[in-house]
Structure 1
């Protein structure tokens, strides 16, 4: 079956006079680690007057990575650009590909401007190639920012510096003031942003402010900025809502396919410019991340993004089709998972909810059944990395020293047994929202989630699948605030376990309950006294 699909994809590329770029990229991805064949198809694209894009190059780099061909990747990454960010990006890519990276030369501070050092800092934080060197660059950047050079940084660089400082926190007592200066600079620039500026300028400004808020929250610095930050983000959203131009529009895709899941999404609650939705298992949130990793679109699954977009007229509400802002989704859920999803239909509401997410006041809670007997309370703080260009499924997300901060909190509600297995029913909360974070963290500490075909051993998954139809992970609660008049009104939504997971849970024997587990299980409609 796989061979037929690959052959069909390649045949389409050969026969088409000018294949569409998404179709060509999908065919390239199907070649996996065969980087020589990927290169041949890139050349064929150029003959057919189809210029490869960044996704095409990423697939070639990923294939070279899987094949260990770092020398070829080095030649590919070499270029005439003098831009410091491009230079730093090449160094980061080379490090990820396993080749020799002269980071000491890239990070040489003598004669470099603050913008150049900011690009170097981003590169070092992204790959964690040399912690001592990273701390050295961080110290120099902090000194220059406090010395009055913060205005020399462009708006995206300000957000990148804040992100990099939070990714690998420096041991510097001046960090609080550095982050406060970055935020003050961004807020000041936002007031001078002309209304006639292109839409991308408002998006870039909002993303930089949100990155700084997130960094302050992760570093526990308390630089939330108060009401001023909220008003700045709302004004940026209003400017985008007032414009008629949208960016990177999601293509029209069928809502379901021939083998789409039988359960349909539903609207749990509507509020001004937003919705709380229920995503059943088998439905894919097709955002900018999915476009990068799967240009051909969803196939044997439901398209949750198309369902969401159908709720709003595109003319009046362009956000649900705008990939640059993740189609208005505040978070996502993996295809085999189910649960509540929060989405905004206006840019103003989107950035307000993003602010809550950045400062930790938007809460997501999950019910997960895992292998093993997890202790009562557990905190997992292992950094993770996800690569959209990875061609090996098991490499999509993994715990690594060079990963991004990720924190997961586990509360054991019950110890169970089934099919000779020790199991724990967990109440899970996350501080960060990395892709596949919960599943990766559980597997990392030796308690993989039940029926996880990606992050558990094949033998374990085969046994699980005999009595649990899918990955046992359900987002059962959302808590956030909705702006109304002159105040924010806290709201909370709870969605019980779906029938398939309740049936799987009923096949287990309860050995021990913790704390108020009975009340919690009743909320999930999973308790039978």
Structure 2
């Protein structure tokens, strides 16, 4: 090159370096296109990259300018035709990477540079190798064909020649590019710890790279502790934050260095920027260093600098607080009151982390929760499966308003399209969230369970537990799903791989799985045996909820596992004070219904605890919901103790007293707000061949109504055809609008104490006040409220048949009627045969019945079960038999003729009601078999007063 050409090029070089924007570069290229070749073209290319680069964006795309294609061609030609040194090639790679090549031209430049670099890699000095890796890291180009791999191989071979700063740069580049290379990092660690008197700062930077890629090296950690701990006071805020952050992913267990770094960080906290505060908080939460002495100063400093926090920094900080169980409510409320518009800037991961943190920490910032939820709903398409599953968990935990229903519906639609992308745990989390929020999302949970069946082996213990629980909760379990999950759980428990936590079932998992299968009435013997054996090993680790759930599952599936039940009965009393009231009643119910001997200590300890809670319950300060819940659980406990024969007088007395106090509390102004609208008593759709109901007994706070056939006590939705007449409408007409709110309270069944099937006739007891309701409910629960029936059955029932003890199962989610089933609830019917008679070739039995339990259609189911169905019963007789019955009997022959109970003063009351005319007409058609039968039929057909069941 001549001196004159050098003078011409010199000012052009300076002009390129002084260019301040793309347009200036463009004008230079247009005006001096012939000169801007070779080295000047490369300089122009690099200046353009510098002007376009934005570190926060990791670069920009190459501008869409006409000169750009020509410039790329010149750079490509220069690399191909000139012998450039490694620094020159690296400079071009850095520029191309920063311009974010979206054209084939830039890709060719990078490939050509990589080829040129690799030709010289064998002679590259350690510093050049480190610089080459650093350039790839800065450019974000891990995928240039073979170059990073070549640098790694050469570096391992010459690792001894690397200075510590070059080792730091080499490791940092791989960390930035997220490329794991265990062999290289092992060599780097071995070399770094062998250096004499390494600088602490260099070791810290090196350690950060190892942490970024989770490359754990014990020797490096030890060296760091030895060298850095004495010099921690010299570190600035950024280095302290980076070091503490690096400890977390590698689970550093070195108290000396950890405590030194935390202590020094607390001293210099005012110098920490928002990003550094969130890094320290995250590390402390991950390392379980979440004491108030650590987190309170961090939260206080963050509050002072809250306006400076970026979305990612804020979401990381409150995540750390939530994970560390640290109260950050003041910080959250300050953010919410400061500027909620910032939420719009949050990316999907930040939205997911923020909402998860609010849910995890039980923070009550409704404004922030709803704002995050709204923004998240608008960006659902951009969420990854992991972020979606975390988001749904938070939705289910935080959002209970009616508006959240539409949010879940939108989320379900979005997620259904991505289910194949979800990992097993993410599927389980989604199912749990939707099942927890509402049973309405049956289709979604079914889709999740279908997606899960083919990859059941990928689920860990918690995932299997959550999935089974969720599907049971919304009744989304089918045979394929239940079979698949049962086999997988059974296999994982049997394998019992002690070297892996993946297959270890915690107590809560075992309890949830047992509950899920019991709820679906699926008694999978191998599975339940496996769960029982595993639970026996871990019973001391069960929380009260788990113990209660396990006992409930055994009872529901009628599994009398003597060893397990004995162990449960021994374990529960030790933690009785930690049981919730519902857990006490559920556990008592389980042992009572299983008739398990040897649980006397359990009932004694439970009785003592329940009595204490009854005595300390203050109605005056309790909310309506709390009172109603306490009343329900008290009644459940009383039923269990009474059924099992363990209801002591003191327990019964205290329970009755509390129920009356709760009833008075509701009467005195804590009743539910209701929409007062009286049901129409008469309309065109209802006819009353038997006339209107009648009041059989009216007391101040309770009354007995005679229900004619064809009337419905309480809407159930199970009657086909025209709407039956409503007894509720009659009751509300009697009670008046405002004076008797119980008649409008669906939660308390409008005051009705029991049902009576639409075609049946008889007496119905109803309360007019809440105090009366709970008084009568107590009587019903303890068997003091007596219900007697007269029934005409097919066939000749033996006089010796006095009791039917057969469990009855009914599901509100199933269209099928009730049935006798081993998995049903305990059901007892007492009977006395009053008469045997015939009509033509068919024989019949007139029976007086008293029920000990009150299952749906209990009398009809039990009668059919023993082979003597009720006459004219359309549900529980064969269709042909029912049609024959209809020719001479207008409806099912079942009449509740007597009620006995105590009034508010404790005085015994009895109400009887004779057979209606249509039933008397049926009896008149029967021919008695003997004199006793003739006398009995005559009494029921005539005007004789029916007797107490016991007197027959």
Q: TM-score range by the shorter chain?
A: 0.7 to 0.9
- Partners of 2:669 and 2:641 lie apart in 1 by 31
1:184 Cα offset (Å): 3.1
Picking from 542, 563, 569, the partner of 1:112 is 542
What corresponds to 2:921 in structure 1? Answer: 503
What corresponds to 1:166 in structure 2? Answer: 592
Picking from 322, 328, 334, the partner of 2:745 is 322
Q: Which structure has the highest helix share of the two?
A: 2
- Partners of 1:313 and 1:298 lie apart in 2 by 30
The unaligned stretches of length 5 or more in structure 1 are: 1-41
What corresponds to 2:832 in structure 1? Answer: 411
Residues 1:384 and 2:384 are matched in the alignment: no
Residues 1:344 and 2:767 are matched in the alignment: yes
- Partners of 2:586 and 2:842 lie apart in 1 by 45
- Asked if 1 retains the 8 angstrom alpha-carbon contact of 2:676 and 2:737, the reply is no
Where 2:634 maps in the other structure, the secondary structure is helix
Residues 1:276 and 2:697 are matched in the alignment: no
The unaligned stretches of length 5 or more in structure 2 are: 1-404, 414-433, 447-470, 490-507, 947-952
Structure-2 change in CA distance of 1:236 and 1:180 (3 Å): farther
Which whole-Å deviations, capped at 9, do the CAs of 1:92-121 have from their partners, x for residues lacking one?
234449898556337714021232110121
Structure-2 change in CA distance of 1:97 and 1:226 (3 Å): closer
Picking from 137, 143, 160, the partner of 2:570 is 143
What corresponds to 2:898 in structure 1? Answer: 477
Residues 1:183 and 2:603 are matched in the alignment: no
- Asked if 2 retains the 8 angstrom alpha-carbon contact of 1:366 and 1:477, the reply is yes
1:156 Cα offset (Å): 1.1
- Partners of 1:260 and 1:507 lie apart in 2 by 29
Residues 1:517 and 2:951 are matched in the alignment: no
Picking from 458, 478, 481, the partner of 1:71 is 481
Structure-2 change in CA distance of 1:524 and 1:54 (3 Å): farther
What corresponds to 2:556 in structure 1? Answer: 126
Range that drifts further, 267-276 or 66-75: 66-75
Residues 1:313 and 2:730 are matched in the alignment: no
TM alignment of 1:448-463, pairs within 5 A: 448-463=869-884
- Asked if 2 retains the 8 angstrom alpha-carbon contact of 1:497 and 1:524, the reply is no
Where 1:243 maps in the other structure, the secondary structure is helix
- Partners of 1:361 and 1:285 lie apart in 2 by 22
What corresponds to 1:26 in structure 2? Answer: none
- Asked if 1 retains the 8 angstrom alpha-carbon contact of 2:762 and 2:913, the reply is yes
What corresponds to 2:817 in structure 1? Answer: 396
Structure-2 change in CA distance of 1:139 and 1:267 (3 Å): same
TM alignment of 1:22-61, pairs within 5 A: 46=409, 53-54=438-439, 57=442
What corresponds to 2:516 in structure 1? Answer: 90
Structure-2 change in CA distance of 1:210 and 1:94 (3 Å): closer
Residues 1:156 and 2:582 are matched in the alignment: yes
Where 2:535 maps in the other structure, the secondary structure is coil
- Partners of 1:142 and 1:470 lie apart in 2 by 48
Structure-2 change in CA distance of 1:190 and 1:339 (3 Å): same
- Asked if 2 retains the 8 angstrom alpha-carbon contact of 1:260 and 1:302, the reply is yes
Aligned length: 464
What corresponds to 1:302 in structure 2? Answer: 725
Which structure would you say has the larger Rg? 2
- Partners of 1:131 and 1:242 lie apart in 2 by 46
RMSD across aligned positions (CA): 3.8
Structure-2 change in CA distance of 1:72 and 1:380 (3 Å): closer
- Partners of 2:636 and 2:645 lie apart in 1 by 14
- Asked if 1 retains the 8 angstrom alpha-carbon contact of 2:742 and 2:751, the reply is yes
- Partners of 2:678 and 2:525 lie apart in 1 by 40
TM-score, with length taken from structure 2:
0.45
Which whole-Å deviations, capped at 9, do the CAs of 1:413-458 have from their partners, x for residues lacking one?
1111113210011111111111100000000000000000000111
- Partners of 2:737 and 2:441 lie apart in 1 by 29
- Partners of 1:402 and 1:524 lie apart in 2 by 43
Structure-2 change in CA distance of 1:245 and 1:424 (3 Å): same
Picking from 256, 265, 273, the partner of 2:693 is 265
1:364 Cα offset (Å): 0.7
- Partners of 1:247 and 1:401 lie apart in 2 by 41
- Partners of 1:397 and 1:507 lie apart in 2 by 31
TM-score, with length taken from structure 1:
0.77
Which whole-Å deviations, capped at 9, do the CAs of 1:16-73 have from their partners, x for residues lacking one?
xxxxxxxxxxxxxxxxxxxxxxxxxx99x946999994367499889x9899654289
Q: Which structure has the highest strand share of the two?
A: 1
Picking from 210, 224, 228, the partner of 2:654 is 228
- Partners of 2:809 and 2:438 lie apart in 1 by 23
Where 1:311 maps in the other structure, the secondary structure is helix
